[in-house]
Amino acid sequence: MHVTRSSNSPELWWRDAVVYEVYVRSFADSDGDGEGDLAGIRSKLPYLRDLGVDALWLTPFYRSPLADGGYDVADYRDVDPRFGTLSDLDALVAATHAHGMRLLVDIVPNHTSDQHPWFQEALAGIHRDRYLFRKEPNDWRSNFGGSAWTQLPDGEWYLHLYAPEQPDLNWRNPQVREEFEDILRFWLDRGVDGFRIDVAAGLFKDPEYGNIGTLRPHEDGSPIYGRPEVHGVYRDWRRILDSYDGDRMAIGEVWTESPADFARFLRPDELHQAFTFALQLAPWSAPEFRSVVDKVLAAVRPTGSVPTWVLSSHDVVRHRTRYGSAARAHAALLFMLALPGSAYLYQGEELGLPEVLDLPEAALQDPIFARTGGLSRGRDGCRVPLPWSGSAPPYGFTAPGAEPWLPMPSDWGPLTAEAQTDDPVSTLSFYQRALRLRRALRDGLPESLEWLESPADALFFRRGPLLCALNCGSEPVRLPPHQRVLLGSTGQPGRELPGGAAVWLA
Ligand code: GLC
């Protein structure tokens, strides 16, 4: 029997890992159909290894009609033909490991696609108890806009916290539980190192279907998120993960407002990690950043787990655009990478990609655009395919002359990976240096931090031998006493750190 280490063991790989999110559809296309695929990812593994990340997280590549970019799964045990085959996945797992990295896959347990055989049966009136059907809707709203309920021609309503093409599963049905345990084993047997769990706090809904009224969806007492029954599922999943060798792990996408609610997911027999989105939601401000970091550290500390940090993802406006400049984006990266815990990067941030704000409406694919009647343009602007080479679209993302699934800007020539490789002042080189240095330092760093006194617009903190300074203001600030500059976000600062910059000091 394999003996697992407690998740407090500091040597566990995920406790300080840098994980790179691959949005599969937009990463690299190997077959010229305009959509990224698993073979495309495999061809770029040397790039990812040279970047210096520890693990990859792949967004869903399962069979799907892509009503929500693959977060609508029609078959949890197969690869969508657009993205490749199961043998491509096996080859990718093996090659990722051969390049010294781990591979996490996304699991979507809250809802299936409406094309899933179970929902097709439900439509025909068979086994509706695998989903959430009601005679009357309530006031719950879909996260994509509009009501969370859709009525079938026979009069019954079904729940979908997202698009109508994503019916919510009934987790009180033991068949649903068994099915997902089997799905976990299916991918663990194929060698994946763990899972990112989609909508992890949402599986159980209030069986009374009480109206939400004026409560916010993620508030304590919400009838939708963070209900106590969900924790039993993750205890079972943890036992499954622990029964495999190789320190497999799971990270939950957990949106909760209260830190106590959040911490429950991280109990030692539940999830290894949970995403905290607080940093991603905070404006460019030293006091805001500090308060976010303090809150997250305080929530996580008693659990024995570690914090996770994210600046960008496939769901939010890219942080370079949110913060308004490449300089600030670089500074934020140094700040994040110096914090205790693990960091999740999103593809393209290492190239300094901005959000694409002017995609033509006809090209938009995110269901949010249609469901809000165009009030929100949705998340396509951070999902534009990566520019790899050349000076015009599709920049090596797909075959020359092929149409990428989202149009690529005509001015991205200087941002391609090719243009930035070997350019010492490029964003890519900066990411490589920062990740290399973090790796070199990490064994000597405590899993905690100590704030030092700083001017109001700046933050200084120490982790053992490493000192990080971030200046969110516009005036230069005097750096704390140090022996040496290890890495700066804007060249080598002297005794002063300019506005919108960060530095690591020894
Ligand atoms: C998560 C995903 C998001 C998706 C939603 C529904 O929030 O990150 O992209 O739309 O779940 O599955």
Q: Specify if 27 maps to a domain.
A: yes
Looking at the fold, whether 344 and 456 belong to one and the same domain comes out as no
The closest residue, in CA terms, to atom 6 on ligand 1 is 71
Q: Specify if 494 maps to a domain.
A: yes
Q: Specify if 150 maps to a domain.
A: no
pLDDT recorded at residue 275:
95
What's the 431 CA to ligand 1 centre distance in angstroms?
27
Looking at the fold, whether 488 and 377 belong to one and the same domain comes out as no
DSSP string, 362-385: GG---HHHHHTTTSS--SGGG-SP
pLDDT recorded at residue 492:
73
CB 342 within 8 A of CB 272: no
Residue with the two structure tokens 């005679």: 135
pLDDT > 70 fraction of the chain, expressed in percent and rounded? 99
Between these two residues, 226 and 64, which has the higher pLDDT value? 64
pLDDT recorded at residue 5:
55
499 in the Ramachandran plot: left (φ > 0), alpha (ψ -120 to 50) or beta? beta
Of 408, 441, 474, the position where a domain reaches its end is: 441
User: Tell me: the pLDDT tens digits for 162-190?
Assistant: 999 999 999 999 999 999 999 999 999 99
Give the max Cα distance, the chain.
74
DSSP string, 388-405: -SSSSTTTTSS-TTPPPS
Instruction: Say yes or no: CB of residue 162 within 6 Å of ligand 1.
Output: yes
User: Tell me: the pLDDT tens digits for 353-384?
Assistant: 999 999 999 999 999 999 999 999 999 999 99
Instruction: Say yes or no: CB of residue 310 within 6 Å of ligand 1.
Output: no
The closest residue, in CA terms, to atom 5 on ligand 1 is 71
User: What is the average per-residue pLDDT within 391-407?
Assistant: 98
pLDDT recorded at residue 374:
93
Q: How confident is the model at residue 3 (pLDDT cuts 50, 70, 90)?
A: very low
Whole-prediction pTM: 0.97
Number of domains composing the chain = 2
Looking at the fold, whether 226 and 333 belong to one and the same domain comes out as yes
Looking at the fold, whether 208 and 339 belong to one and the same domain comes out as yes
pLDDT recorded at residue 481:
93
User: What is the average per-residue pLDDT within 405-409?
Assistant: 98
pLDDT recorded at residue 148:
97
Of 420, 441, 462, the position where a domain reaches its end is: 441
Q: How confident is the model at residue 140 (pLDDT cuts 50, 70, 90)?
A: very high
Looking at the fold, whether 274 and 356 belong to one and the same domain comes out as yes
Which strand (E) or helix (H) includes residue 70? none
Looking at the fold, whether 72 and 209 belong to one and the same domain comes out as yes
Looking at the fold, whether 401 and 417 belong to one and the same domain comes out as yes
Q: Specify if 135 maps to a domain.
A: no
Which strand (E) or helix (H) includes residue 438? helix 427-441
- Peptide linkage before 476 cis (omega within 30 of 0): no
> In terms of residue numbers, what domain contains 491?
448-505
Q: Specify if 166 maps to a domain.
A: no
Looking at the fold, whether 483 and 358 belong to one and the same domain comes out as no
Instruction: Say yes or no: CB of residue 21 within 6 Å of ligand 1.
Output: no
pLDDT recorded at residue 256:
86
Residue 4 has pLDDT above 70, yes or no: no
Output the domain CATH number for residue 455: 2.60.40.1180
Query: In the Cβ-directed half-sphere of 315, how many Cα atoms lie within 13 Å?
Result: 12
CB 71 within 8 A of CB 162: yes
What SS3 class is residue 500? coil
- 273-287 per-residue burial string, b: 16 or more CB within 10 A, e: under 16: bbbbbbbbebebebe
pLDDT recorded at residue 10:
74
pLDDT recorded at residue 165:
98
By DSSP bridging, strand 485-488 and strand 477-478 are unpaired
Looking at the fold, whether 467 and 365 belong to one and the same domain comes out as no
Output the domain CATH number for residue 26: 3.20.20.80
The pLDDT mean for the chain works out to 96
